Amino acid sequence: MKISNFGIILYPSTRSLAYLHMLSKNNIMPKEVIVMGKWPFLPENILIESKKYSYEDKYFSIDDSLEWIIKNKNINLSSIDDTDINSQELHKILNKTKCKNFIFTGGGILRKEVLSLGIDFIHVHPGDINYYRGSTCFHYSYLRSESVSCTTFIMKNELDRGEVLDISRIHQNIFIENDQSFFVDYIYDPFIRSIALKKVLPYLESLEKKNNIIINEFHGDDHHVIHPVLRSLFIKKINNSYTENDEKGIYLTDA
Amino acid sequence: MINKNIHSYPKLDISTYLSEFINQRKLFLKNINHSIDYDTDNIQYEVNRVIYSYISLNKLSSTLTSRLNEAIVGFKSLRVKDTKLIMYLKRYFELHRTLYAELESKNHKLDATSNKNDINILLRVSYLLQLMHIKTNDFNYLSTSIKINEFMLNDFTSYELEKSSLLKYLINYEILILRNYNENI
């Protein structure tokens, strides 16, 4: 496995697991891994659902033991108790790092002190940032226009500014069963971000940017957390568009 | 350190959640003896009638109520500044779960010293968000409107709710919108 000169901050979430899975599948590992909070973190009922619906085979490994990272001596591993991306503890580690790019797996807004460390934090947003802001925006875009996109961008020192590395469109042909309660938040959301992140791996390895997609200011409207009744409508719409004879799964439309 | 709980949504029974939600809303209307036979045109007509009657009886209503009344009755040719106002109020409610009855005269921001969560303001904002959803097909507006309606149904007394001449139309409108999606999406 190739160790590349970037880092990843692992917030205890399935998004971290999805990103790690994607990196390992592509034989790339970050030089530096910072683990936040308490691991393993997954509740038993997600593991049961995952087993029943084969999430590991279809999407990503939800092994949250991190054993394979701990065993790899070429990876600089550190851990902190805090899960706040702006914590002093994390700030101290980042201050010493030689990596200039870190994949961001958490939520919240990075404060100036963190952003001014000279590190590029790469974030995947589950929507086209030109139109949609907010963590549940893929529900809104799908309900409105049957489209789901992800934007990978470098977070900047000002709110709503950043350098876009890629905007990917996602297609799915899936049927979400009634008892897949964790699927949308814990599998679908992190999985679409991970397949979008894959597209910028060449950048992470070489730091060579594509030259035609720099957008420095986002104008998308705030899309606040969607009401559960519309969320159920989103699932219903996904299920209604499912066709048994077409290719099943979730994938990039331009892959 | 205990990790934050990231379960942001209630466990949903996908097949029945939406219809149960609609049934609860229907039950509310039944309890206040409102027929749900109205179609969207009837509702818009009735809401405009209530607003015009309010305007004629309340010449000295708050600046914000007046602005919202104007936006409702003139919705077909909504001014840019009214759209901006609706967006501002939408965002404010999402962030604070609160709206105030007055705007500050200088900067046109909500005046936090004025009446908090006046049902007349909440009703008008929610209705305008329903109209915005119908006009644009953007579910962002509908989501906040449902949240405001839920807030009113949970936080106001049945006396206050029954006294309102607009609420029944709003809930009726919400049922029609959601029922249409439930059947046709």
Q: What is the pLDDT of residue B129?
A: 98
Summarize the confidence of residues A76-101 as an average pLDDT.
92
Nearest CA to B172 among B75, B72, B35, B77? Answer: B35
In a domain, residue B90? The reply is: yes
Summarize the confidence of residues B111-115 as an average pLDDT.
93
Reply yes or no on whether the pLDDT at B114 is more than 60. yes
The domain tally of chain A equals 1
**Top-confidence residue, A157 or A24:** A24
Nearest CA to A134 among A41, A212, A230? Answer: A230
- Using a pLDDT cut of 70, give the percent of chain A over it: 93
Residue A59 DSSP SS3 = coil
Reply yes or no on whether the pLDDT at A193 is more than 80. yes
**A143, A226, A236 ranked by CB distance to B14: nearest:** A236
Under an 8 A CB cutoff, do A237 and B185 touch?
A: yes
Q: What is the pLDDT of residue B108?
A: 84
Reply yes or no on whether the pLDDT at B5 is more than 50. no
pTM (2 decimals)? 0.91
Interface test with A, best of B13, B15, B91, B143 (most A CBs within 10 A): B143
In a domain, residue B162? The reply is: yes
Summarize the confidence of residues B15-34 as an average pLDDT.
91
pLDDT tens-place string over residues B131-143: 999 999 999 999 9
Q: What is the pLDDT of residue A210?
A: 58
Mean model confidence pLDDT for chain B: 90
List Cα–Cα distances, A219 to A96, A141, A143, in angstroms: 35, 15, 20
Q: What is the pLDDT of residue B7?
A: 41
In a domain, residue B21? The reply is: no
In a domain, residue B98? The reply is: yes
Q: Which residue has the tokens 């109020």?
A: B89
CB atoms near residue A71 (< 10 Å): 8
The domain tally of chain B equals 1
Q: What is the pLDDT of residue B12?
A: 64
Q: What is the pLDDT of residue A103?
A: 96
**Minimum distance, in Å, between the CA of residue B57 and any CA atom of chain A:** 36
Q: What is the pLDDT of residue A204?
A: 85
Summarize the confidence of residues A150-176 as an average pLDDT.
86
Tokens describing residue B55: 């305007």
**Minimum distance, in Å, between the CA of residue A202 and any CA atom of chain B:** 32
Tokens describing residue A249: 């799964």
What lies within 8 Å, CB to CB, of A172 at 6+ separation is A148, A188, A238, A249, A250, A251
The interface predicted TM-score of the complex, written ipTM, equals 0.91
In a domain, residue B28? The reply is: no
- Fill in the amino acid letter for B102: E
Summarize the confidence of residues B74-97 as an average pLDDT.
95
- Nearest-CA residue of chain A relative to B14? A178
Reply yes or no on whether the pLDDT at B8 is more than 70. no
Q: What is the pLDDT of residue A234?
A: 96
Q: What is the band of B185 on the pLDDT scale with cuts at 50, 70, 90?
A: confident
Q: What is the pLDDT of residue A28?
A: 93
Q: Which residue has the tokens 């702006």?
A: A86
Nearest CA to A232 among B22, B95, B36? Answer: B22
Q: What is the pLDDT of residue B103?
A: 93
- Let me know: does A224 contact B144? Beta carbons within 8 Å: yes
**Rounded Cα–Cα distance for residues A114 and A121 (Å):** 10
**Rounded Cα–Cα distance for residues A163 and A157 (Å):** 11
Residue B7 DSSP SS3 = coil
- Fill in the amino acid letter for A207: L
Q: Is B159 on the interface with A (CB under 8 A)?
A: no
Nearest CA to A6 among A102, A105, A119? Answer: A102
Summarize the confidence of residues B34-45 as an average pLDDT.
89
pLDDT tens-place string over residues B51-79: 999 888 877 667 899 999 999 999 999 99
Chain B hits for A143, CB-CB cut-off 8 Å, are 139
Summarize the confidence of residues B157-161 as an average pLDDT.
89
**Domain range holding A33?**
2-252
Q: What is the pLDDT of residue B10?
A: 57
In a domain, residue B96? The reply is: yes
In a domain, residue B134? The reply is: yes
Segment 62-81 of chain B within 8 Å of chain A by CB = none
Reply yes or no on whether the pLDDT at A83 is more than 60. yes
Mean model confidence pLDDT for chain A: 90
**B2, B6, B14 ranked by CB distance to A38: nearest:** B2
- Nearest-CA residue of chain A relative to B7? A185
Q: What is the pLDDT of residue A158?
A: 63
Chain B hits for A232, CB-CB cut-off 8 Å, are 12, 14, 17-18, 21
Query: Residue A245 maps to which CATH number?
Result: 3.40.50.170
Reply yes or no on whether the pLDDT at A134 is more than 70. yes
Residues β-bridged to residue A125: A151
Reply yes or no on whether the pLDDT at B11 is more than 70. no
**Minimum distance, in Å, between the CA of residue B163 and any CA atom of chain A:** 27
Q: What is the band of A163 on the pLDDT scale with cuts at 50, 70, 90?
A: confident
**Domain range holding B41?**
37-184
Chain A hits for B8, CB-CB cut-off 8 Å, are 185, 225
- Let me know: does A112 contact A159? Beta carbons within 8 Å: no
Tally C-beta pairs within 8 A across A and B: 85
- Let me know: does A203 contact A165? Beta carbons within 8 Å: yes
**Minimum distance, in Å, between the CA of residue B108 and any CA atom of chain A:** 20
Ramachandran angles phi, psi of A119, nearest 5°: -105, 140
Q: What is the pLDDT of residue B85?
A: 96
pLDDT tens-place string over residues A195-243: 999 999 988 887 666 554 556 677 778 899 999 999 999 999 999 999 9
Chain B hits for A224, CB-CB cut-off 8 Å, are 91, 94, 140, 143-144
Q: What is the pLDDT of residue B2?
A: 46
Chain A hits for B138, CB-CB cut-off 8 Å, are 140, 144
